[in-house]
């Protein structure tokens, strides 16, 4: 994590991930209170700007911001002035002029959150150069943010400017999904099996299999980085057509033997076939995919007694995972969702609340 944005889980390093996960423990406790709210981000405004469909990530970021007492603005692209020809840059800078402190951005194109962060930083630099009463942080889209004459990176958001949190960009990254998955594995193993590692975030020695459509998955990319950063051994299991064209530099093993991997894994992490990102035929048939790579009820009998089954959602029951396996005790799919709120509270707090850097 840079001091200002969360664009990739790779920015965090082991210390940064550990810091987020330790803070998330505190926010899990807050979530159990009769009134699950703290004043940590009172006066801050978080905009959720989702240009691609979402249930879990959008609602959990919004719940997290509200539990921290931030104001939440929900931007809906389908009913916005984007439809009148306004550019994405002008849209973002217009929202910033209204006093947004953090943008939570999902987009179908890889790199959009980083691009938005760059626009915000450039606008802030232009505002700072203009000085008090200058053009403001909107890049000329609106003059309102310069009116206060703060003379910083942005007259509205102050010298740090607005933060950007990547809520999933194309097939690139989904950093908060990886953080909540690390949190879930660590804390669920501790809760179930009494593991009490000295450093709670460490997944050292665990064998984690990520199964399915790796090629189109931002979750797989962020999780490979996060799991390996915390010391786990990661095996990708997929048909050759659903692996990335190159795995050069990926700290993983690859297998096509689903039965063998399931039998020896501590965590089996299933992915959805992302048909919205497929522009050609990658599989002979869904039936064959399920038979070879699905976690069927029969295959789930190979799981070890302490194995966890995970999925980022949305789940397509009967394809990558059988319904009865998704609902079985080894599945922590709903725990992942619940933990997502606390982990996103931690990330928002670290970026907006304390202003502290995370990691090195
Ligand atoms: N896991 C995940 O990103 O789910 P949504 O697409 O529903 O946000």
Name all contacts of 58-66 with Cβ < 8 Å and 24+ positions apart: 58/104, 58/106, 58/167, 60/337, 60/340, 60/341, 60/344, 61/104, 61/165, 61/167, 61/176, 61/344, 61/348, 63/341, 64/27, 64/341, 64/342, 64/344, 64/345, 64/348, 65/41, 65/348, 66/37
Give the pLDDT confidence of 56-111 residue by residue, as tens digits.
999 999 999 999 999 999 999 999 999 999 999 999 999 999 999 999 999 999 99
pLDDT of 147 reads: 31
Res. 142: pLDDT tops 70: no
Among 219, 114, 210, 211, which Cα is nearest to 173's? 219
> pLDDT exceeding 70 applies to what percent of the chain?
87
Report the relative pairing of strands 163-169 and 102-107 from DSSP bridges.
Answer: parallel
Least confident of 19-33, 95-109, 190-204, 308-322: 190-204
Average pLDDT over residues 344-352: 96
Q: Which residue has the higher pLDDT, 142 or 105?
A: 105
CA–centroid distance, 135 to ligand 1, in Å, is: 38
> For ligand 1, is residue 168 a contact (CB within 6 Å)?
yes
Does the beta carbon of 276 lie inside 6 Å of ligand 1? no
Greatest mean pLDDT among 134-148, 314-328, 344-358 = 314-328
pLDDT at 195: 63
More confident position, 208 or 358? 208
Q: What is the pLDDT of residue 266?
A: 97
For the chain, give the percent of residues with pLDDT over 90.
79
The owner of tokens 């310069």 is 146
Q: Is the CB of 108 under 6 A from ligand 1?
A: no
Give yes or no for a cis peptide into 285 (omega within 30° of 0): no
Q: What is the mean pLDDT of residues 297-301?
A: 98
Substitution site in 55, 276, 341 for ligand 1 pocket (most atoms within 8 Å of beta carbon): 55
Q: For residue 168, which atom of ligand 1 is closest to its CA?
A: 3
161 Cβ closer than 6 Å to some ligand 1 atom: no
Query: Could you give the angle at which helices 175-193 and 13-31 cross, rounded to 10 degrees?
Result: 70
Is the CB of 314 inside a 6 Å radius of any atom of ligand 1? yes
145 has pLDDT over 80: no
CB of 313 within 6 A of ligand 1: the answer is yes
| Distance between Cα 167 and ligand 1 center (Å) | 9
pLDDT in tens, 189-239: 999 888 655 555 679 999 999 999 999 999 999 999 999 999 999 999 999
Q: Where does 33-121 show beta strands of DSSP type E? A: 45-50, 71-76, 102-107
Q: Is the CB of 251 under 6 A from ligand 1?
A: no
For residues 258-281, give the mean pLDDT: 91
Ligand 1 pocket mutation, candidates 312, 316, 340, criterion most atoms within 8 A of CB: 312
Q: Does ligand 1 come within 6 angstroms of the Cβ of 223?
A: no
On the question of pLDDT at 180 being above 80, the answer is yes
Evaluate if residue 354 carries a pLDDT over 70.
no
Please give the number of the atom of ligand 1 that sits closest to the Cα of 52.
6
Using 50, 70 and 90 to split pLDDT, how confident is the model at 357?
Answer: very low
Average pLDDT in the chain: 89
340 lines ligand 1 (CB under 6 A): no
* pLDDT at residue 160 tops 90: no
| Beta strands at 207-211 and 233-237: parallel, antiparallel or unpaired | parallel
Q: From the alpha carbon of 174, which atom of ligand 1 is closest?
A: 3
Cβ neighbours for 108, distance < 8 A, ≥ 6 positions apart: 51, 52, 170, 276, 277
How many angstroms is it from 337 CA to the middle of ligand 1?
A: 9
pTM of the model: 0.90
Ligand 1 mean position, distance from CA 156 (Å): 31
Instruction: Rounding to the nearest 10 degrees, give the CA dihedral for residues 134, 139, 145, 149.
Output: -20
Strand 267-270 relative to strand 207-211, pairing: parallel
């Amino acid at each position: 994590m840079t001091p200002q944005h969360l664009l990739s889980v790779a920015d965090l390093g082991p210390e940064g991930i550990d810091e987020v996960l330790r803070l998330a423990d505190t926010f899990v406790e807050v979530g159990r209170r009769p009134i699950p709210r703290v004043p940590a981000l009172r006066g801050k405004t978080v905009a959720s700007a989702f240009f691609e469909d979402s249930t879990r990530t959008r609602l959990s970021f919004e719940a997290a911001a509200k539990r921290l007492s931030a104001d939440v603005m929900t931007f809906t692209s389908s009913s916005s002035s984007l439809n009148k020809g306004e550019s994405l840059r002008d849209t973002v800078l217009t929202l910033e002029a209204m006093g947004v402190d953090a943008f939570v951005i999902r987009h179908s194109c890889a790199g959009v959150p980083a691009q938005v962060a760059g626009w915000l930083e450039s606008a802030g630099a232009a505002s700072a150069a203009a000085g008090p009463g200058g053009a403001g942080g909107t890049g000329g889209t609106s003059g309102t943010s310069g009116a206060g004459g703060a003379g910083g990176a942005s007259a509205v958001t102050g010298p740090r400017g607005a933060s950007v949190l990547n809520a999933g960009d194309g097939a690139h990254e989904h950093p908060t999904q990886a953080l909540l998955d690390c949190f879930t594995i660590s804390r669920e193993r501790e809760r179930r099996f009494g593991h009490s590692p000295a450093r709670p975030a460490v997944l050292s020695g665990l064998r984690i299999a990520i199964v399915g459509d790796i090629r189109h998955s931002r979750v797989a990319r962020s999780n490979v980085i996060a799991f390996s950063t915390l010391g786990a051994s990661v095996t990708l299991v997929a048909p050759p057509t659903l692996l990335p064209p190159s795995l050069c530099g990926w700290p993983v093993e690859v297998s096509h033997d689903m039965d063998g991997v399931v039998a020896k894994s501590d965590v089996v992490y299933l992915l959805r076939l992302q048909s919205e990102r497929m522009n050609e035929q990658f599989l002979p048939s869904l039936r064959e995919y399920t038979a070879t790579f699905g976690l069927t009820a029969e295959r789930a009998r190979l799981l070890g007694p302490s194995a966890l089954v995970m999925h980022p959602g949305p789940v397509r029951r009967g394809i990558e995972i059988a319904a009865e396996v998704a609902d079985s005790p080894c599945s922590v799919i709903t725990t992942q969702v619940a933990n997502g709120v606390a982990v996103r509270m931690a990330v928002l707090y670290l970026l907006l609340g304390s202003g502290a850097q995370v990691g090195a």
